[in-house]
């Protein structure tokens, strides 16, 4: 019944700050934005008088990848989760592919992005998953992101 992931939605506190981060620091392409409001929006979000600003950014024009959807609710304050954690039941992270994780890591540090560690090397060849380097870091709202560089 389901065919593919259409987009990955993230609720953010300041959409302009988040657009800047995902576009200028991570290099995603800004696709566009819209305002959602009205009866259907209220029903969809199960919230009266709901108004949301929604922006879309895409990672690549060369491959089929779901866009990142940023949502800021305009007529109420978004509540933050206690502390984003890889160890709590939820979506644990949004992972991006990179061709040069060391370069990305330096770029993140140069832009004061909080990284949970420096890039780490993994060899899961014996499980059939190959080798890679990975890093976790946080967006402006503390949402945990991952970058992975497959090693051939």
Of residues 94, 99, 101, 89, the one with CA closest to residue 146: 94
pLDDT of residue 91: 78
Which residue has 């190959």 as its token pair? 130
Q: Which domains does the chain show, CATH number per domain? A: 8-73 (3.10.180.10), 94-151 (3.10.180.10)
Phi and psi based region of residue 140 (left: phi greater than 0; alpha: psi -120 to 50; beta: remaining): alpha
Note the pLDDT of residue 142. 92
Convert the pLDDT of each residue in 80-132 to its tens digit: 766 777 777 777 889 999 999 999 999 999 999 999 999 999 999 999 999 99
Least confident of 13-27, 44-58, 65-79: 65-79
- Residue 122 in contact with residue 102, Cβ under 8 Å? no
152/149 Cα distance (integer angstroms): 9
CB 138 within 8 A of CB 79: no
């Amino acid at each position: 019944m389901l065919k593919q992931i259409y987009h990955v939605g993230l609720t953010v506190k300041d959409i302009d700050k988040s657009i800047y981060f995902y576009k200028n620091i991570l290099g995603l392409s800004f696709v566009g934005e819209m305002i959602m409001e009205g009866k259907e929006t209220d029903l969809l979000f199960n919230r009266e008088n709901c108004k949301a600003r929604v922006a879309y950014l895409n990672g690549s024009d060369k491959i089929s990848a779901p866009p990142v959807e940023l949502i800021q609710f305009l007529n109420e304050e978004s509540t933050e989760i206690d502390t984003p954690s890889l160890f709590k039941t939820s979506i644990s992270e949004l992972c991006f592919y990179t061709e040069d994780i060391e370069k990305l890591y330096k770029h993140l540090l140069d832009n004061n992005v909080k990284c949970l560690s420096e890039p780490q090397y993994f060899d899961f060849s014996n499980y059939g998953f190959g080798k890679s380097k990975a890093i976790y870091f946080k967006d402006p709202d503390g949402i945990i992101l991952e970058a992975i560089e497959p090693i051939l």
